[in-house]
Amino acid sequence: MPPFSGDEGFGSGGGFGVRRPLRFLAHKLELDDKQVVLLARILDQLKTERAQAAVDDRRALGEFADALAGDAFDTTRAAAAGDRRVESNKRLRETLLRSLQEIHAMLNSEQRARLAHLIRTGVLAV
């Protein structure tokens, strides 16, 4: 799976490779109520950005198809589709990096170590 796409990554509907990432992480990391609220906000932002990236990807696919459909290949349209994908992935990457930084800041050292272990062992997908 590419690091910034798909439905099973960090912050998606099935984020972290589990069905209910907030509940799973709250339990595994022993988060307090304040941390749960913060993590819920972070995961929601990631979910929204991933959904927008999926919309952008579908639009880009349509533009690629349109570029191929005519008698002559439409280089301009294909380039625009490629640019759409690149920009969408940049926004998603920035959201992911900001989210990881916010999560790091809200966790104590023991919780960060547990989270790193879950990611490193493949229990969670980022």
At residue 51, the pLDDT reads 95
- What one-letter code names the amino acid at 94? E
Q: Look at phi and psi of residue 122 and say left if phi exceeds 0, alpha if psi is from -120 to 50, else beta.
A: left
Q: What is the CATH number of domain 15-120?
A: 1.20.120
Over residues 13-23, the mean pLDDT reads 61
Cβ neighbours around 35 below 10 Å, total: 18
Over residues 57-75, the mean pLDDT reads 96
Torsion sign across C-alpha atoms 85, 67, 69, 66: positive
3-state helix, strand, coil in the chain (%, to 5): 75, 0, 25
Over residues 4-30, the mean pLDDT reads 63
Q: Domain map of the chain by residue range?
A: 15-120
Average pLDDT, the chain: 87
* Residue 49 or 12, more confident: 49
